[in-house]
């Protein structure tokens, strides 16, 4: 057995990278394993924080962007076409005549979205700084903007990337502009107006300015002008503010049709235009006072019938299979870009944010016990070392790539990253978590001590909420548990607090979980206050089995449970509440305690 564990595998020769950089993983395929299972020779191959993209005739090229101008000896190429082909090539791409000085810099890769008609590379074009986990070297970022680059056409990809490059240059951030990009700077200066840092900051985040006067003046406008504006093309800046604006939720033909048909002022303007051949004909006072309710009354139909007629007559229904697939692709792409860019996705480059500090310490303890067992079997070259001091920020298995260490339950873009994982491009895989992260620091008064200076202790307070990707959905549409014992909208919330007392830094971590009641039940969303009901298709044994499997998964991870049921004890929710209580009592789990707390009754009147 010692020979088995001490067997050494030969590696193919590779060029020596610079010492201050982390090279991409390059391991010889002498083991017969897939590239995704090969561990790179350099420990902790962290994802790249800046990646350069360049569209060429052979495909879309990718390589890490180093601020000091240093280039590594490898780059990645994604071939054009619907079929995805990701491969790592030797060299930095300079020898092939690629103009990297006009490349586009992004903050990371979400993955590749494969649809019916085309495939898209989703990249992080904007990010926000959330804070850091105790140390500046452990920052946490939020996804602020996502851009979809089509992979089926070089021209379409260039259009999106040129717009993204222009915006990066306008932001005036050196890390987002490729080195020696004189041509790009000339193009940006000719096409984009220069912006000051204040303008770019205002554009990225909306701000509210309050008037200095305490009283607000109310003025009545003069009734001398009408609202009949001449027809004209829409403003080009209204729908193209960002490269991904073509996937805006307000650009669909149905939305425009509804806005034109159901808008009161547009209706008056159209009637005025149709009543006279002259464009200067103003609407009468009676038409100005006509409301949408009167229009519905004149038609003699219900509002739902009028809405259905508008959708049937005005909406362009696809006729061929290709048109249906194309329309479906646009909807899916628009929804994916919106979901990843609405401010609920977070990531970190150099440490795992999918696992709590408690989970990491449990893994470290487990690995230490395993190494002790292997040492007793003489399967290790050196005996494991023990340290008296515990590092609360230690990472279990730090030599593995980041995506190999994360909790897959909270890894939302795993499937999108499959092409890079299969190719063994570990440094291009960036795990993304959906949830909420907040970091704050504040002083707390303390009693004066001889060994301490100051009257206040600085407290670091961090909240990390991680939403599970299993059975996630909207309210009323995702309820209860599924056949795999995954509850709807499962969220793990960790509260971390660090405070120094008597010269010692103390770190506390408290973890709580929430989720839907682990029974088969539904709640229809078609009523204003729908009543939850147990699924009549499920038997008593099926509900009991799902509940036991759910706690069998969570108990080893989180330890003993204290259930606090916040549902109503009386009224519409009482049926599910009482059923949950009865099933937990019947299960008789030794590490599960059940408590009821009627949240609506206890907090009635904001008491």
Residues paired with 64 in a beta bridge: 51
Residue 52, in any domain of the structure: yes
Confidence (pLDDT) at 132: 94
Question: Where is average pLDDT lowest: 4-18, 272-286, 351-365, 370-384?
Answer: 4-18
* Same-domain check for residues 78 and 144: yes
| Band of residue 370 on the pLDDT scale cut at 50, 70, 90 | confident
* Same-domain check for residues 89 and 174: yes
The token duo for 216 is 């607000």
**Domain termination site, one of 263, 291, 317:** 317
CA 373 to mean position of chain CA atoms: 40
Residue 400, in any domain of the structure: no
Please determine, for residue 73, whether its predicted confidence score (pLDDT) is greater than 90: no
CA 368 to mean position of chain CA atoms: 34
Between 376 and 29, residue with greater pLDDT:
376
Residue 336, in any domain of the structure: no
Determine contact, residues 132/139, Cβ cutoff 8 Å: yes
The token duo for 186 is 């000339």
**Domain termination site, one of 289, 317, 345:** 317
Please determine, for residue 520, whether its predicted confidence score (pLDDT) is greater than 70: yes
Average pLDDT, the chain: 77
* Same-domain check for residues 43 and 145: yes
466 Cβ partners below 8 Å, 6+ apart? 353, 354, 410, 433, 434, 435, 491, 492, 493, 494
Residue 455, in any domain of the structure: no
| Band of residue 47 on the pLDDT scale cut at 50, 70, 90 | very high
Separation between Cα atoms, residue 400 and residue 409, nearest integer Å: 18
* Same-domain check for residues 288 and 195: no
What percent of the chain shows pLDDT beyond 70? 67
Between 75 and 307, residue with greater pLDDT:
75
| Band of residue 312 on the pLDDT scale cut at 50, 70, 90 | low
Which of 17-31, 245-259, 405-419, 500-514 is the most confident on average? 405-419
* Same-domain check for residues 14 and 89: yes
Rounded average pLDDT over 449-467: 85
- Which residue range is the domain that position 19 belongs to? 2-127+139-200
What percent of the chain shows pLDDT beyond 90? 45
**Domain termination site, one of 317, 342, 365:** 317
Determine contact, residues 158/99, Cβ cutoff 8 Å: no
Burial label, 580 (beta-carbon count in 10 A; 0-12, 13-18, 19+) = buried
Residue 28, in any domain of the structure: yes
* Same-domain check for residues 60 and 177: yes
Residue 444, in any domain of the structure: no
Three-state secondary structure call for residue 70: coil
Please determine, for residue 510, whether its predicted confidence score (pLDDT) is greater than 60: yes
* Same-domain check for residues 157 and 298: no
Confidence (pLDDT) at 15: 46
Residue 101, in any domain of the structure: yes
pTM of the model: 0.72
Confidence (pLDDT) at 409: 96
**199-232 per-position pLDDT tens digit:** 444 444 444 444 454 444 444 444 444 444 444 4
Please determine, for residue 6, whether its predicted confidence score (pLDDT) is greater than 50: no
Question: What's the total number of domains in the chain?
Answer: 2
369 Cβ partners below 8 Å, 6+ apart? none
Residue 46, in any domain of the structure: yes
Confidence (pLDDT) at 108: 96
Please determine, for residue 474, whether its predicted confidence score (pLDDT) is greater than 80: yes
Rounded average pLDDT over 316-341: 90
* Same-domain check for residues 123 and 50: yes
Determine contact, residues 596/581, Cβ cutoff 8 Å: yes
Question: Where is average pLDDT lowest: 295-299, 338-342, 373-377, 524-528?
Answer: 295-299
* Same-domain check for residues 184 and 66: yes
């Amino acid at each position: 057995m010692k020979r088995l564990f001490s067997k050494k595998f030969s590696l193919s020769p590779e060029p020596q990278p610079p010492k201050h950089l982390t090279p991409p993983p390059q391991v010889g395929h002498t083991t017969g394993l897939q590239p995704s299972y090969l561990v790179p020779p350099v420990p902790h191959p962290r994802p790249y924080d800046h990646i350069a993209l360049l569209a060429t005739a052979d495909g879309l090229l990718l390589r890490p962007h180093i601020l000091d101008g240093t280039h590594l000896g490898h780059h990645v190429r994604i071939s054009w076409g619907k079929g995805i082909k990701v491969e790592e090539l030797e060299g930095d791409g300079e020898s092939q005549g690629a103009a990297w000085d006009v490349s586009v810099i992004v903050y990371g890769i979400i993955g590749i979205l494969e649809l019916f008609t085309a495939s898209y590379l989703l990249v992080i074009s904007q990010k926000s700084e959330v804070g850091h986990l105790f140390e500046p070297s452990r920052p946490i970022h939020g996804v602020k903007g996502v851009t979809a680059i089509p992979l089926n056409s070089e021209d379409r990809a260039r259009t999106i990337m040129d717009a993204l490059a222009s915006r990066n240059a306008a932001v005036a951030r050196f890390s987002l502009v490729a080195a020696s990009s004189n041509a790009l700077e000339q193009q940006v200066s000719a096409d984009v107006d220069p912006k000051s840092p204040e303008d770019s900051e205002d554009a990225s985040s909306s701000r509210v300015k309050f008037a200095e006067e305490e009283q607000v003046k109310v003025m009545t406008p003069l009734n001398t002008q009408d609202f009949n504006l001449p027809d004209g093309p829409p403003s080009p800046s209204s729908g193209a503010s960002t490269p991904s604006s073509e996937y805006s939720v307000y650009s669909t033909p149905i939305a425009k049709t509804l806005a034109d048909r159901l808008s009161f002022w547009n209706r008056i303007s159209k009637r005025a235009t149709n009543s006279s051949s002259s464009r200067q004909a103003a609407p009468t006072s009676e038409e100005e006072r006509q409301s949408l309710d009167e229009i519905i009354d004149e038609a003699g139909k219900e509002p739902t019938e009028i809405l259905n007629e508008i959708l049937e007559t005005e909406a362009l229904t696809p006729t061929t299979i290709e048109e249906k697939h194309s329309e479906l692709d646009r909807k899916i792409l628009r929804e994916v870009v919106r979901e990843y860019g609405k401010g609920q996705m977070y990531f970190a480059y150099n440490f795992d944010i999918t696992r709590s500090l408690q989970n990491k310490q449990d893994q470290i303890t487990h690995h230490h016990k395993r190494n002790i067992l292997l040492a007793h079997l003489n399967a290790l070259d050196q005996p494991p070392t023990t340290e008296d001091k515990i590092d609360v920020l230690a990472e279990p298995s730090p030599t593995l790539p980041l995506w190999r260490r994360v909790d897959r339950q909270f890894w939302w873009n795993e499937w999108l990253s499959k092409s890079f994982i299969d190719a063994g491009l570990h440094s291009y895989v960036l795990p993304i978590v959906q949830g909420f992260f907040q970091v704050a620091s504040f002083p707390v008064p303390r009693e004066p001590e001889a060994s301490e200076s100051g009257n206040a202790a600085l407290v670091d307070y961090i909240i990390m909420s991680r939403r599970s990707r299993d059975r996630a959905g909207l309210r009323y549409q995702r309820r209860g548990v599924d056949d795999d014992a995954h509850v709807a909208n499962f969220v793990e919330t960790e509260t971390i607090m660090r405070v120094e007392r008597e010269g010692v830094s103390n770190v506390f971590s408290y973890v709580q979980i929430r989720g839907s009641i682990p029974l088969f039940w539904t709640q229809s969303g078609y009523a204003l206050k729908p009543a939850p009901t147990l699924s009549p298709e499920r038997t008593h044994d099926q509900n009991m089995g799902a509940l036991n499997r759910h706690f069998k998964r969570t108990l080893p991870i989180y330890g003993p449970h204290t259930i606090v049921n916040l549902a109503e004890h009386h009224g519409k929710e009482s049926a599910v509440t009482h059923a949950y209580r009865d099933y937990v009592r019947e299960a008789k789990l030794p590490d599960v305690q059940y408590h009821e707390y009627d949240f609506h009754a206890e907090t009635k009147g904001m008491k």
